[in-house]
Structure 1
Protein backbone atom coordinates (compact mmCIF):
# COMPACT_ATOMS: atom_id res chain seq x y z
CA UNK A 1 0.00 0.00 0.00
CA UNK A 2 2.01 2.93 -1.34
CA UNK A 3 0.77 6.44 -0.63
CA UNK A 4 1.02 9.67 -2.60
CA UNK A 5 -0.18 11.94 0.17
CA UNK A 6 0.94 15.18 -1.46
CA UNK A 7 -1.69 14.75 -4.18
CA UNK A 8 -4.63 14.04 -1.90
CA UNK A 9 -7.51 16.26 -0.80
CA UNK A 10 -8.21 16.52 2.92
CA UNK A 11 -11.68 15.49 4.07
CA UNK A 12 -12.88 18.21 6.42
CA UNK A 13 -15.37 17.89 9.30
CA UNK A 14 -18.81 19.35 8.70
CA UNK A 15 -20.03 22.47 10.45
CA UNK A 16 -22.22 21.78 13.47
CA UNK A 17 -24.85 24.37 12.52
CA UNK A 18 -26.26 22.39 9.58
CA UNK A 19 -29.67 20.69 9.42
CA UNK A 20 -28.80 17.40 11.11
CA UNK A 21 -31.57 15.02 12.14
CA UNK A 22 -32.39 14.68 15.83
CA UNK A 23 -31.31 11.61 17.80
CA UNK A 24 -34.18 9.56 19.28
CA UNK A 25 -34.34 6.25 21.13
CA UNK A 26 -37.18 4.61 19.18
CA UNK A 27 -39.02 4.93 15.89
CA UNK A 28 -42.10 7.08 16.32
CA UNK A 29 -45.31 5.29 15.36
CA UNK A 30 -47.54 6.89 17.99
CA UNK A 31 -47.72 10.51 16.86
CA UNK A 32 -50.28 11.65 14.36
CA UNK A 33 -48.82 11.82 10.86
CA UNK A 34 -48.86 15.62 10.72
CA UNK A 35 -46.86 15.79 13.98
CA UNK A 36 -44.46 12.99 13.03
CA UNK A 37 -40.83 13.92 12.55
CA UNK A 38 -38.21 11.37 11.56
CA UNK A 39 -35.00 11.08 13.57
CA UNK A 40 -31.98 8.79 13.84
CA UNK A 41 -32.93 5.93 16.14
CA UNK A 42 -30.28 4.93 18.68
CA UNK A 43 -31.87 2.13 20.75
CA UNK A 44 -30.94 1.78 24.39
CA UNK A 45 -29.48 -1.63 23.49
CA UNK A 46 -27.17 -0.26 20.77
CA UNK A 47 -23.46 -0.42 21.57
CA UNK A 48 -21.13 1.87 19.56
CA UNK A 49 -17.80 0.56 18.38
CA UNK A 50 -15.00 1.20 20.83
CA UNK A 51 -12.23 -1.02 19.45
CA UNK A 52 -10.21 -0.66 16.28
CA UNK A 53 -9.55 -1.91 13.66
CA UNK A 54 -13.14 -2.46 12.56
CA UNK A 55 -14.53 -4.29 9.53
CA UNK A 56 -17.99 -3.41 8.20
CA UNK A 57 -19.94 -5.01 5.35
CA UNK A 58 -22.62 -3.08 3.46
CA UNK A 59 -25.13 -5.68 2.29
CA UNK A 60 -28.61 -6.15 0.89
CA UNK A 61 -29.55 -8.67 -1.78
CA UNK A 62 -31.58 -6.06 -3.68
CA UNK A 63 -29.93 -3.72 -6.16
CA UNK A 64 -30.49 0.02 -6.32
CA UNK A 65 -30.74 0.56 -2.56
CA UNK A 66 -27.66 2.75 -2.19
CA UNK A 67 -24.97 0.30 -1.07
CA UNK A 68 -22.17 2.05 -2.93
CA UNK A 69 -23.28 5.51 -1.83
CA UNK A 70 -23.48 4.27 1.78
CA UNK A 71 -19.98 2.78 1.58
CA UNK A 72 -18.44 5.90 0.05
CA UNK A 73 -20.10 8.49 2.29
CA UNK A 74 -19.44 6.58 5.51
CA UNK A 75 -15.83 6.17 4.43
CA UNK A 76 -15.56 9.90 3.89
CA UNK A 77 -17.19 10.62 7.26
CA UNK A 78 -14.74 8.34 9.06
CA UNK A 79 -11.79 9.86 7.17
CA UNK A 80 -12.94 13.33 8.26
CA UNK A 81 -12.58 12.13 11.84
CA UNK A 82 -8.90 11.33 11.25
CA UNK A 83 -9.33 7.58 10.78
CA UNK A 84 -7.54 5.65 8.06
CA UNK A 85 -10.24 4.01 5.99
CA UNK A 86 -10.05 1.24 3.40
CA UNK A 87 -12.98 0.62 1.06
CA UNK A 88 -13.22 -2.77 -0.65
CA UNK A 89 -15.21 -2.91 -3.86
CA UNK A 90 -16.73 -6.41 -3.79
CA UNK A 91 -19.27 -5.62 -6.52
CA UNK A 92 -18.31 -6.94 -9.99
CA UNK A 93 -20.69 -4.56 -11.78
CA UNK A 94 -19.16 -1.89 -14.01
CA UNK A 95 -21.11 0.89 -12.27
CA UNK A 96 -19.47 0.24 -8.92
CA UNK A 97 -17.29 2.06 -6.41
CA UNK A 98 -14.20 1.65 -8.60
CA UNK A 99 -15.91 3.63 -11.37
CA UNK A 100 -16.80 6.44 -8.99
CA UNK A 101 -13.74 6.83 -6.75
CA UNK A 102 -10.52 7.94 -8.39
CA UNK A 103 -7.33 6.08 -7.46
CA UNK A 104 -3.87 7.64 -7.30
CA UNK A 105 -1.79 4.76 -8.63
CA UNK A 106 1.96 5.13 -7.97
CA UNK A 107 3.65 6.75 -10.95
CA UNK A 108 6.24 3.96 -11.15
CA UNK A 109 3.62 1.18 -11.22
CA UNK A 110 3.02 -0.23 -14.73
CA UNK A 111 -0.62 -0.60 -15.72
CA UNK A 112 -0.30 -4.37 -16.12
CA UNK A 113 0.93 -4.68 -12.53
CA UNK A 114 -2.04 -2.95 -10.91
CA UNK A 115 -3.83 -5.37 -8.61
CA UNK A 116 -7.52 -5.81 -7.82
CA UNK A 117 -9.74 -7.79 -5.47
CA UNK A 118 -9.81 -10.64 -8.00
CA UNK A 119 -6.05 -11.07 -7.53
CA UNK A 120 -6.56 -11.37 -3.78
CA UNK A 121 -9.15 -14.14 -4.10
CA UNK A 122 -6.96 -16.10 -6.52
CA UNK A 123 -3.84 -15.72 -4.30
CA UNK A 124 -1.94 -13.56 -6.77
CA UNK A 125 -1.29 -10.85 -4.19
CA UNK A 126 -2.10 -9.81 -0.64
CA UNK A 127 -4.92 -7.43 0.26
CA UNK A 128 -2.32 -4.86 1.21
CA UNK A 129 -0.76 -5.06 -2.26
CA UNK A 130 -4.19 -4.43 -3.83
CA UNK A 131 -4.92 -1.39 -1.63
CA UNK A 132 -4.33 2.01 -3.25
CA UNK A 133 -4.48 5.62 -2.17
CA UNK A 134 -7.47 7.56 -3.51
CA UNK A 135 -7.71 11.27 -4.17
CA UNK A 136 -8.94 11.76 -0.59
CA UNK A 137 -6.58 11.81 2.37
CA UNK A 138 -6.94 8.79 4.68
CA UNK A 139 -9.17 6.99 2.17
CA UNK A 140 -7.89 3.88 0.34
CA UNK A 141 -9.54 1.53 -2.14
CA UNK A 142 -9.23 -2.11 -3.15
CA UNK A 143 -10.64 -1.89 -6.69
CA UNK A 144 -12.60 -4.48 -8.62
CA UNK A 145 -13.47 -5.05 -12.25
CA UNK A 146 -15.96 -7.31 -14.06
CA UNK A 147 -13.55 -10.27 -13.81
CA UNK A 148 -14.42 -10.39 -10.09
CA UNK A 149 -17.51 -12.34 -11.18
CA UNK A 150 -15.23 -15.36 -11.69
CA UNK A 151 -15.17 -15.76 -7.91
CA UNK A 152 -18.90 -16.53 -8.07
CA UNK A 153 -18.46 -19.11 -10.84
CA UNK A 154 -15.11 -20.73 -10.02
CA UNK A 155 -15.18 -20.60 -6.19
CA UNK A 156 -11.41 -20.42 -5.59
CA UNK A 157 -10.16 -22.46 -2.65
CA UNK A 158 -11.00 -20.81 0.66
CA UNK A 159 -13.04 -18.00 -0.88
CA UNK A 160 -15.43 -17.85 2.10
CA UNK A 161 -12.62 -17.03 4.53
CA UNK A 162 -10.33 -15.17 2.10
CA UNK A 163 -11.18 -11.65 3.22
CA UNK A 164 -11.26 -12.59 6.89
CA UNK A 165 -7.77 -14.09 6.62
CA UNK A 166 -6.28 -11.04 4.90
CA UNK A 167 -8.08 -8.49 7.08
CA UNK A 168 -7.28 -10.06 10.42
CA UNK A 169 -3.90 -11.71 9.71
CA UNK A 170 -2.11 -9.02 7.67
CA UNK A 171 -0.52 -6.19 9.58
CA UNK A 172 -1.37 -2.68 8.42
CA UNK A 173 -2.45 0.63 9.93
CA UNK A 174 -6.02 0.81 8.60
CA UNK A 175 -8.59 1.72 11.25
CA UNK A 176 -11.84 0.93 9.44
CA UNK A 177 -12.52 -1.30 6.45
CA UNK A 178 -15.89 -1.09 4.67
CA UNK A 179 -16.81 -3.77 2.13
CA UNK A 180 -19.28 -2.78 -0.59
CA UNK A 181 -21.17 -5.95 -1.55
CA UNK A 182 -22.99 -6.66 -4.79
CA UNK A 183 -26.76 -7.02 -5.32
CA UNK A 184 -26.98 -10.69 -4.36
CA UNK A 185 -26.27 -12.97 -1.44
CA UNK A 186 -23.73 -14.98 -3.42
CA UNK A 187 -20.15 -16.02 -2.71
CA UNK A 188 -18.70 -12.50 -2.56
CA UNK A 189 -21.31 -11.26 -0.10
CA UNK A 190 -20.92 -14.35 2.07
CA UNK A 191 -17.16 -13.78 2.12
CA UNK A 192 -17.72 -10.17 3.20
CA UNK A 193 -20.09 -11.19 5.99
CA UNK A 194 -17.66 -13.83 7.25
CA UNK A 195 -14.96 -11.15 7.49
CA UNK A 196 -17.03 -8.38 9.06
CA UNK A 197 -17.93 -7.49 12.63
CA UNK A 198 -20.70 -5.07 11.66
CA UNK A 199 -23.31 -5.30 8.92
CA UNK A 200 -24.78 -2.09 7.52
CA UNK A 201 -28.07 -2.57 5.66
CA UNK A 202 -29.26 0.06 3.15
CA UNK A 203 -33.01 -0.14 2.52
CA UNK A 204 -34.81 2.11 0.08
CA UNK A 205 -37.42 4.05 2.04
CA UNK A 206 -39.58 4.49 -1.05
CA UNK A 207 -39.92 0.76 -1.91
CA UNK A 208 -42.13 -1.67 -0.03
CA UNK A 209 -40.31 -4.55 -1.76
CA UNK A 210 -37.15 -3.78 0.20
CA UNK A 211 -38.74 -5.20 3.33
CA UNK A 212 -38.75 -8.62 1.64
CA UNK A 213 -35.10 -8.22 0.66
CA UNK A 214 -34.19 -7.35 4.24
CA UNK A 215 -36.04 -10.44 5.46
CA UNK A 216 -33.96 -12.65 3.14
CA UNK A 217 -30.79 -10.98 4.38
CA UNK A 218 -31.92 -11.58 7.97
CA UNK A 219 -32.14 -15.32 7.26
CA UNK A 220 -28.69 -15.42 5.65
CA UNK A 221 -27.18 -13.50 8.55
CA UNK A 222 -28.66 -16.03 10.96
CA UNK A 223 -26.96 -18.89 9.12
CA UNK A 224 -23.58 -17.14 8.93
CA UNK A 225 -23.73 -16.05 12.57
CA UNK A 226 -24.48 -19.61 13.67
CA UNK A 227 -21.95 -21.42 11.50
CA UNK A 228 -19.15 -19.07 10.48
CA UNK A 229 -19.02 -15.74 12.32
CA UNK A 230 -20.53 -15.61 15.79
CA UNK A 231 -19.33 -12.05 16.36
CA UNK A 232 -21.36 -10.62 13.45
CA UNK A 233 -24.07 -8.06 14.23
CA UNK A 234 -26.35 -5.74 12.30
CA UNK A 235 -25.12 -2.36 13.47
CA UNK A 236 -27.23 -0.02 11.37
CA UNK A 237 -30.04 0.22 8.83
CA UNK A 238 -29.87 3.18 6.42
CA UNK A 239 -33.22 4.26 4.97
CA UNK A 240 -31.99 5.65 1.64
CA UNK A 241 -33.90 8.04 -0.66
CA UNK A 242 -35.84 9.08 2.42
CA UNK A 243 -38.67 11.57 2.10
CA UNK A 244 -41.37 12.13 4.67
CA UNK A 245 -44.24 9.80 3.74
CA UNK A 246 -46.51 7.19 5.27
CA UNK A 247 -44.63 4.47 3.36
CA UNK A 248 -41.25 5.65 4.68
CA UNK A 249 -42.70 5.73 8.18
CA UNK A 250 -43.96 2.16 7.82
CA UNK A 251 -40.68 0.87 6.40
CA UNK A 252 -38.72 2.54 9.20
CA UNK A 253 -41.01 0.91 11.75
CA UNK A 254 -40.57 -2.54 10.16
CA UNK A 255 -36.78 -2.18 10.09
CA UNK A 256 -36.70 -1.10 13.73
CA UNK A 257 -38.67 -4.25 14.61
CA UNK A 258 -36.49 -6.53 12.46
CA UNK A 259 -33.20 -5.19 13.86
CA UNK A 260 -34.06 -3.92 17.37
CA UNK A 261 -30.43 -3.40 18.48
CA UNK A 262 -29.36 -1.48 15.38
CA UNK A 263 -29.30 2.18 14.47
CA UNK A 264 -32.03 3.26 12.07
CA UNK A 265 -30.74 6.19 10.01
CA UNK A 266 -33.04 8.05 7.60
CA UNK A 267 -30.90 9.29 4.71
CA UNK A 268 -32.76 12.16 3.12
CA UNK A 269 -32.81 12.24 -0.65
CA UNK A 270 -30.58 14.60 -2.65
CA UNK A 271 -30.71 15.49 -6.34
CA UNK A 272 -26.94 16.14 -6.46
CA UNK A 273 -25.88 12.48 -6.09
CA UNK A 274 -25.88 11.89 -9.86
CA UNK A 275 -23.85 15.04 -10.48
CA UNK A 276 -21.31 13.95 -7.87
CA UNK A 277 -20.96 10.59 -9.63
CA UNK A 278 -20.48 12.25 -13.01
CA UNK A 279 -17.77 14.51 -11.60
CA UNK A 280 -16.05 11.55 -9.87
CA UNK A 281 -16.45 13.17 -6.48
CA UNK A 282 -17.85 12.00 -3.19
CA UNK A 283 -21.15 13.70 -2.44
CA UNK A 284 -19.54 15.07 0.71
CA UNK A 285 -16.93 16.87 -1.40
CA UNK A 286 -19.39 17.91 -4.11
CA UNK A 287 -22.21 19.15 -1.84
CA UNK A 288 -21.04 19.27 1.81
CA UNK A 289 -24.32 20.67 3.11
CA UNK A 290 -26.60 18.19 1.31
CA UNK A 291 -29.01 16.46 3.67
CA UNK A 292 -27.73 13.07 2.45
CA UNK A 293 -24.20 14.06 3.46
CA UNK A 294 -25.38 15.21 6.89
CA UNK A 295 -27.30 12.02 7.61
CA UNK A 296 -24.39 9.72 6.72
CA UNK A 297 -22.04 11.87 8.79
CA UNK A 298 -24.30 11.73 11.85
CA UNK A 299 -24.74 7.97 11.42
CA UNK A 300 -20.97 7.49 11.19
CA UNK A 301 -20.48 9.53 14.34
CA UNK A 302 -22.87 7.32 16.29
CA UNK A 303 -21.42 4.09 14.93
CA UNK A 304 -17.92 4.98 16.13
CA UNK A 305 -18.85 7.33 18.94
CA UNK A 306 -15.80 8.79 20.61
CA UNK A 307 -13.34 6.92 18.37
CA UNK A 308 -10.59 8.93 16.72
CA UNK A 309 -6.97 8.41 15.74
Structure 2
Protein backbone atom coordinates (compact mmCIF):
# COMPACT_ATOMS: atom_id res chain seq x y z
CA UNK A 1 0.00 0.00 0.00
CA UNK A 2 1.16 3.51 -0.72
CA UNK A 3 2.14 5.53 2.33
CA UNK A 4 2.80 9.23 2.80
CA UNK A 5 5.41 10.91 4.94
CA UNK A 6 2.73 12.06 7.36
CA UNK A 7 2.03 10.05 10.49
CA UNK A 8 -1.17 8.08 10.80
CA UNK A 9 -3.42 7.99 13.86
CA UNK A 10 -4.20 4.70 15.55
CA UNK A 11 -7.92 4.05 16.00
CA UNK A 12 -8.46 2.85 19.55
CA UNK A 13 -11.08 0.29 20.65
CA UNK A 14 -14.17 1.56 22.41
CA UNK A 15 -14.50 1.33 26.17
CA UNK A 16 -15.90 -1.99 27.35
CA UNK A 17 -18.44 -0.34 29.65
CA UNK A 18 -20.41 1.35 26.88
CA UNK A 19 -23.99 0.22 26.32
CA UNK A 20 -24.32 -1.87 23.16
CA UNK A 21 -27.46 -3.37 21.70
CA UNK A 22 -28.51 -6.78 22.99
CA UNK A 23 -27.89 -9.74 20.67
CA UNK A 24 -30.85 -12.05 19.97
CA UNK A 25 -31.55 -14.84 17.48
CA UNK A 26 -34.79 -13.49 15.99
CA UNK A 27 -36.60 -10.19 15.56
CA UNK A 28 -39.03 -9.54 18.42
CA UNK A 29 -42.62 -9.05 17.27
CA UNK A 30 -44.34 -10.42 20.38
CA UNK A 31 -43.38 -8.05 23.21
CA UNK A 32 -45.81 -5.21 23.92
CA UNK A 33 -44.56 -2.06 22.22
CA UNK A 34 -43.89 -0.06 25.41
CA UNK A 35 -41.62 -2.88 26.66
CA UNK A 36 -40.02 -3.61 23.28
CA UNK A 37 -36.32 -2.89 22.74
CA UNK A 38 -34.52 -3.12 19.45
CA UNK A 39 -31.67 -5.63 19.32
CA UNK A 40 -29.14 -7.03 16.88
CA UNK A 41 -30.44 -10.24 15.33
CA UNK A 42 -27.87 -12.97 14.69
CA UNK A 43 -29.60 -16.09 13.32
CA UNK A 44 -28.26 -19.46 14.51
CA UNK A 45 -27.37 -20.22 10.89
CA UNK A 46 -25.07 -17.19 10.54
CA UNK A 47 -21.32 -17.76 10.58
CA UNK A 48 -18.68 -15.07 10.04
CA UNK A 49 -16.60 -15.98 7.01
CA UNK A 50 -12.82 -16.31 7.05
CA UNK A 51 -10.57 -13.41 6.14
CA UNK A 52 -9.61 -11.88 3.76
CA UNK A 53 -13.09 -10.76 2.81
CA UNK A 54 -14.65 -8.52 0.13
CA UNK A 55 -17.96 -6.89 1.03
CA UNK A 56 -20.23 -4.84 -1.23
CA UNK A 57 -22.43 -2.28 0.54
CA UNK A 58 -25.44 -1.74 -1.69
CA UNK A 59 -28.95 -0.36 -1.94
CA UNK A 60 -30.23 1.12 -5.17
CA UNK A 61 -31.91 3.99 -3.32
CA UNK A 62 -29.89 7.05 -2.39
CA UNK A 63 -29.73 8.23 1.21
CA UNK A 64 -29.93 4.73 2.68
CA UNK A 65 -26.71 5.12 4.68
CA UNK A 66 -24.28 3.17 2.49
CA UNK A 67 -21.39 5.57 2.90
CA UNK A 68 -21.81 5.93 6.66
CA UNK A 69 -21.99 2.14 6.91
CA UNK A 70 -18.79 1.66 4.89
CA UNK A 71 -16.78 4.20 6.88
CA UNK A 72 -17.99 3.29 10.38
CA UNK A 73 -17.53 -0.45 9.81
CA UNK A 74 -14.05 0.25 8.46
CA UNK A 75 -13.13 2.30 11.52
CA UNK A 76 -14.43 -0.40 13.85
CA UNK A 77 -12.35 -3.01 12.04
CA UNK A 78 -9.08 -1.07 12.07
CA UNK A 79 -9.61 -0.49 15.81
CA UNK A 80 -9.39 -4.28 16.08
CA UNK A 81 -6.04 -4.30 14.31
CA UNK A 82 -7.31 -5.35 10.87
CA UNK A 83 -6.08 -3.81 7.64
CA UNK A 84 -9.02 -2.41 5.69
CA UNK A 85 -9.46 -0.95 2.23
CA UNK A 86 -12.53 1.04 1.18
CA UNK A 87 -13.30 1.32 -2.53
CA UNK A 88 -15.50 4.29 -3.38
CA UNK A 89 -17.62 2.98 -6.28
CA UNK A 90 -20.05 5.91 -6.14
CA UNK A 91 -19.60 8.53 -8.89
CA UNK A 92 -21.66 11.16 -7.07
CA UNK A 93 -20.00 14.45 -6.22
CA UNK A 94 -20.88 14.04 -2.52
CA UNK A 95 -19.33 10.60 -2.11
CA UNK A 96 -16.94 9.16 0.44
CA UNK A 97 -14.03 10.67 -1.50
CA UNK A 98 -15.24 14.07 -0.25
CA UNK A 99 -15.85 12.92 3.34
CA UNK A 100 -12.76 10.81 4.05
CA UNK A 101 -9.34 12.41 3.90
CA UNK A 102 -6.71 10.51 1.93
CA UNK A 103 -3.19 11.31 0.85
CA UNK A 104 -1.45 11.16 -2.49
CA UNK A 105 2.24 10.38 -1.93
CA UNK A 106 4.33 13.55 -2.06
CA UNK A 107 6.54 11.95 -4.71
CA UNK A 108 3.58 11.32 -7.02
CA UNK A 109 3.12 14.08 -9.66
CA UNK A 110 -0.39 15.44 -10.02
CA UNK A 111 -0.68 14.04 -13.55
CA UNK A 112 0.03 10.54 -12.24
CA UNK A 113 -2.71 10.51 -9.61
CA UNK A 114 -5.12 7.72 -10.42
CA UNK A 115 -8.55 6.79 -9.07
CA UNK A 116 -11.06 3.98 -9.51
CA UNK A 117 -12.11 5.14 -12.98
CA UNK A 118 -8.57 4.58 -14.31
CA UNK A 119 -8.61 0.97 -13.09
CA UNK A 120 -11.45 0.19 -15.51
CA UNK A 121 -9.94 1.96 -18.52
CA UNK A 122 -6.21 1.23 -18.11
CA UNK A 123 -5.54 -2.54 -17.99
CA UNK A 124 -1.90 -2.02 -17.08
CA UNK A 125 -2.80 -0.52 -13.69
CA UNK A 126 -3.01 -2.54 -10.49
CA UNK A 127 -5.27 -1.97 -7.50
CA UNK A 128 -2.24 -0.77 -5.56
CA UNK A 129 -1.78 2.01 -8.15
CA UNK A 130 -5.10 3.56 -7.13
CA UNK A 131 -4.96 2.84 -3.36
CA UNK A 132 -3.87 5.59 -0.98
CA UNK A 133 -3.25 6.05 2.72
CA UNK A 134 -5.70 7.80 5.05
CA UNK A 135 -5.04 9.52 8.40
CA UNK A 136 -5.95 6.27 10.18
CA UNK A 137 -3.51 3.45 10.73
CA UNK A 138 -4.54 0.36 8.78
CA UNK A 139 -7.19 2.11 6.64
CA UNK A 140 -6.58 2.53 2.91
CA UNK A 141 -8.76 4.13 0.27
CA UNK A 142 -9.50 3.91 -3.46
CA UNK A 143 -11.10 7.26 -4.37
CA UNK A 144 -13.51 8.11 -7.16
CA UNK A 145 -14.81 11.28 -8.74
CA UNK A 146 -17.72 12.14 -11.07
CA UNK A 147 -15.75 10.90 -14.10
CA UNK A 148 -16.40 7.39 -12.76
CA UNK A 149 -19.74 7.76 -14.57
CA UNK A 150 -17.78 7.06 -17.77
CA UNK A 151 -17.64 3.42 -16.68
CA UNK A 152 -21.45 3.33 -16.63
CA UNK A 153 -21.88 5.08 -19.97
CA UNK A 154 -18.97 3.57 -21.95
CA UNK A 155 -18.70 0.16 -20.26
CA UNK A 156 -15.09 -0.70 -21.15
CA UNK A 157 -14.30 -4.31 -21.93
CA UNK A 158 -14.51 -6.51 -18.84
CA UNK A 159 -16.38 -3.98 -16.69
CA UNK A 160 -18.34 -6.65 -14.78
CA UNK A 161 -15.20 -8.60 -13.81
CA UNK A 162 -12.64 -5.80 -13.36
CA UNK A 163 -12.86 -5.60 -9.56
CA UNK A 164 -13.05 -9.37 -9.24
CA UNK A 165 -9.85 -9.69 -11.29
CA UNK A 166 -7.93 -7.20 -9.16
CA UNK A 167 -9.29 -8.39 -5.81
CA UNK A 168 -8.49 -12.03 -6.55
CA UNK A 169 -4.77 -11.29 -6.85
CA UNK A 170 -2.35 -12.88 -4.35
CA UNK A 171 -2.57 -11.64 -0.76
CA UNK A 172 -1.75 -7.93 -0.42
CA UNK A 173 -2.10 -7.83 3.36
CA UNK A 174 -5.64 -6.41 3.35
CA UNK A 175 -8.05 -8.26 5.65
CA UNK A 176 -11.33 -6.64 4.57
CA UNK A 177 -12.25 -4.69 1.44
CA UNK A 178 -15.48 -2.69 1.66
CA UNK A 179 -16.99 -1.46 -1.62
CA UNK A 180 -19.26 1.57 -1.19
CA UNK A 181 -21.69 1.31 -4.13
CA UNK A 182 -23.64 4.15 -5.69
CA UNK A 183 -27.43 4.53 -5.74
CA UNK A 184 -28.13 2.33 -8.75
CA UNK A 185 -27.93 -1.20 -10.06
CA UNK A 186 -25.82 -0.45 -13.13
CA UNK A 187 -22.46 -1.87 -14.25
CA UNK A 188 -20.49 -0.46 -11.28
CA UNK A 189 -22.75 -2.12 -8.71
CA UNK A 190 -22.76 -5.36 -10.69
CA UNK A 191 -18.95 -5.21 -10.80
CA UNK A 192 -18.90 -4.88 -7.01
CA UNK A 193 -21.31 -7.80 -6.55
CA UNK A 194 -19.26 -10.01 -8.86
CA UNK A 195 -16.14 -9.27 -6.79
CA UNK A 196 -17.74 -9.63 -3.36
CA UNK A 197 -18.06 -12.54 -0.97
CA UNK A 198 -20.78 -10.77 1.03
CA UNK A 199 -23.36 -8.03 0.60
CA UNK A 200 -24.46 -5.63 3.32
CA UNK A 201 -27.74 -3.83 2.61
CA UNK A 202 -28.39 -0.56 4.48
CA UNK A 203 -32.09 0.28 4.70
CA UNK A 204 -33.54 3.40 6.31
CA UNK A 205 -35.55 2.15 9.26
CA UNK A 206 -38.36 4.62 8.64
CA UNK A 207 -38.62 4.31 4.87
CA UNK A 208 -40.90 1.88 3.09
CA UNK A 209 -39.28 3.00 -0.18
CA UNK A 210 -35.92 1.69 1.02
CA UNK A 211 -37.52 -1.71 1.60
CA UNK A 212 -38.71 -1.69 -2.00
CA UNK A 213 -35.24 -0.72 -3.12
CA UNK A 214 -33.80 -3.65 -1.21
CA UNK A 215 -36.24 -5.95 -3.00
CA UNK A 216 -35.01 -4.72 -6.39
CA UNK A 217 -31.42 -5.22 -5.25
CA UNK A 218 -32.28 -8.75 -4.20
CA UNK A 219 -33.33 -9.55 -7.78
CA UNK A 220 -29.98 -8.24 -9.05
CA UNK A 221 -28.13 -10.28 -6.44
CA UNK A 222 -30.03 -13.35 -7.61
CA UNK A 223 -28.99 -12.74 -11.22
CA UNK A 224 -25.34 -12.23 -10.26
CA UNK A 225 -25.39 -15.41 -8.15
CA UNK A 226 -26.88 -17.40 -11.01
CA UNK A 227 -24.53 -16.15 -13.71
CA UNK A 228 -21.29 -14.83 -12.25
CA UNK A 229 -20.83 -15.33 -8.48
CA UNK A 230 -22.66 -18.36 -7.07
CA UNK A 231 -21.15 -18.01 -3.58
CA UNK A 232 -22.38 -14.45 -2.99
CA UNK A 233 -24.47 -14.05 0.17
CA UNK A 234 -26.33 -11.29 1.98
CA UNK A 235 -24.45 -11.15 5.28
CA UNK A 236 -26.40 -8.32 6.89
CA UNK A 237 -29.19 -5.81 6.64
CA UNK A 238 -28.51 -2.61 8.58
CA UNK A 239 -31.46 -0.49 9.69
CA UNK A 240 -29.98 3.00 9.44
CA UNK A 241 -31.27 6.14 11.17
CA UNK A 242 -33.02 3.80 13.55
CA UNK A 243 -35.48 5.25 16.06
CA UNK A 244 -37.99 3.23 18.04
CA UNK A 245 -41.32 3.29 16.22
CA UNK A 246 -44.04 0.93 15.09
CA UNK A 247 -42.92 1.41 11.48
CA UNK A 248 -39.26 0.64 12.27
CA UNK A 249 -40.37 -2.48 14.13
CA UNK A 250 -42.47 -3.59 11.16
CA UNK A 251 -39.67 -2.94 8.67
CA UNK A 252 -37.21 -4.85 10.84
CA UNK A 253 -39.59 -7.81 11.03
CA UNK A 254 -40.17 -7.77 7.28
CA UNK A 255 -36.47 -7.73 6.50
CA UNK A 256 -35.70 -10.44 9.05
CA UNK A 257 -38.24 -12.64 7.23
CA UNK A 258 -36.81 -11.75 3.82
CA UNK A 259 -33.23 -12.55 4.91
CA UNK A 260 -33.57 -15.31 7.52
CA UNK A 261 -29.87 -16.22 7.44
CA UNK A 262 -28.56 -12.65 7.65
CA UNK A 263 -27.69 -10.39 10.57
CA UNK A 264 -30.21 -7.59 11.11
CA UNK A 265 -28.56 -4.66 12.86
CA UNK A 266 -30.27 -1.44 13.99
CA UNK A 267 -27.91 1.54 13.64
CA UNK A 268 -29.43 4.21 15.82
CA UNK A 269 -29.79 7.72 14.45
CA UNK A 270 -27.37 10.53 15.26
CA UNK A 271 -27.81 14.15 14.23
CA UNK A 272 -24.04 14.71 14.40
CA UNK A 273 -23.26 12.67 11.28
CA UNK A 274 -23.68 15.75 9.08
CA UNK A 275 -21.30 17.73 11.28
CA UNK A 276 -18.76 14.89 11.11
CA UNK A 277 -18.99 14.90 7.32
CA UNK A 278 -18.44 18.65 7.23
CA UNK A 279 -15.39 18.24 9.48
CA UNK A 280 -14.17 15.38 7.23
CA UNK A 281 -14.00 12.99 10.15
CA UNK A 282 -15.58 9.60 10.74
CA UNK A 283 -18.29 9.77 13.39
CA UNK A 284 -16.14 7.40 15.46
CA UNK A 285 -13.47 10.08 15.96
CA UNK A 286 -15.87 13.04 15.89
CA UNK A 287 -18.20 11.68 18.61
CA UNK A 288 -16.77 8.37 19.91
CA UNK A 289 -19.57 7.62 22.37
CA UNK A 290 -22.43 8.04 19.89
CA UNK A 291 -24.91 5.17 19.84
CA UNK A 292 -24.46 4.93 16.06
CA UNK A 293 -20.75 4.28 16.60
CA UNK A 294 -21.52 1.60 19.18
CA UNK A 295 -23.94 -0.11 16.82
CA UNK A 296 -21.49 -0.26 13.93
CA UNK A 297 -18.78 -1.44 16.29
CA UNK A 298 -21.03 -4.29 17.39
CA UNK A 299 -21.83 -5.05 13.75
CA UNK A 300 -18.14 -5.28 12.87
CA UNK A 301 -17.60 -7.64 15.79
CA UNK A 302 -20.50 -9.91 14.80
CA UNK A 303 -19.83 -9.95 11.07
CA UNK A 304 -16.08 -10.42 11.09
CA UNK A 305 -15.10 -11.95 14.43
CA UNK A 306 -18.18 -13.94 15.42
CA UNK A 307 -19.05 -11.70 18.35
CA UNK A 308 -15.62 -11.85 19.94
CA UNK A 309 -14.24 -8.56 21.27
Deviation string for 1:116-174 (max 9, x for gaps)?
Answer: 00010112521111000001110000000100000000000001000000000254111
**Which residue in 2 is equivalent to 1:56?**
55
**Which residue in 1 is equivalent to 2:298?**
298
Q: Within 5 Å, give how 1:195-206 maps onto structure 2.
A: 195-206=195-206
**Which residue in 2 is equivalent to 1:95?**
94
State the TM-score, normalized to the length of structure 1: 0.97
Deviation at 1:4, TM superposition (A): 3.1
Q: Is the 2:76–2:296 Cα contact (8 Å) retained in structure 1?
A: yes
**Which residue in 1 is equivalent to 2:279?**
279
Answer yes or no: is 1:157 the counterpart of 2:157.
yes
In structure 2, stretches of 5+ residues that fail to align are none
Q: Is the 1:59–1:181 Cα contact (8 Å) retained in structure 2?
A: yes
Q: Within 5 Å, give how 1:92-241 maps onto structure 2.
A: 92-123=91-122, 125-241=125-241
In structure 1, stretches of 5+ residues that fail to align are none
Deviation string for 1:207-226 (max 9, x for gaps)?
Answer: 11111111111111111111
**Which residue in 2 is equivalent to 1:250?**
250
State the TM-score, normalized to the length of structure 2: 0.97
Q: Is the 1:89–1:117 Cα contact (8 Å) retained in structure 2?
A: yes
Deviation at 1:52, TM superposition (A): 1.5
**Which residue in 2 is equivalent to 1:27?**
27
**Which residue in 1 is equivalent to 2:78?**
79
The number of aligned residues is 307
The CA RMSD measured in Å over matched residues stands at: 1.3
Partner of 1:184, secondary structure, is coil
- Structure 1 consecutive aligned stretches of length 4 or more whose deviation exceeds 3 Å: none
- Write the distance in 2 (CA, Å) between the matches of 1:135 and 1:115: 19
- Write the distance in 2 (CA, Å) between the matches of 1:116 and 1:307: 35
- Write the distance in 2 (CA, Å) between the matches of 1:215 and 1:148: 26
Deviation string for 1:20-69 (max 9, x for gaps)?
Answer: 100011000011111111000000111112x2210000000000000000
- Write the distance in 2 (CA, Å) between the matches of 1:3 and 1:175: 17
- Write the distance in 2 (CA, Å) between the matches of 1:187 and 1:300: 28
Q: Is the 1:5–1:137 Cα contact (8 Å) retained in structure 2?
A: no
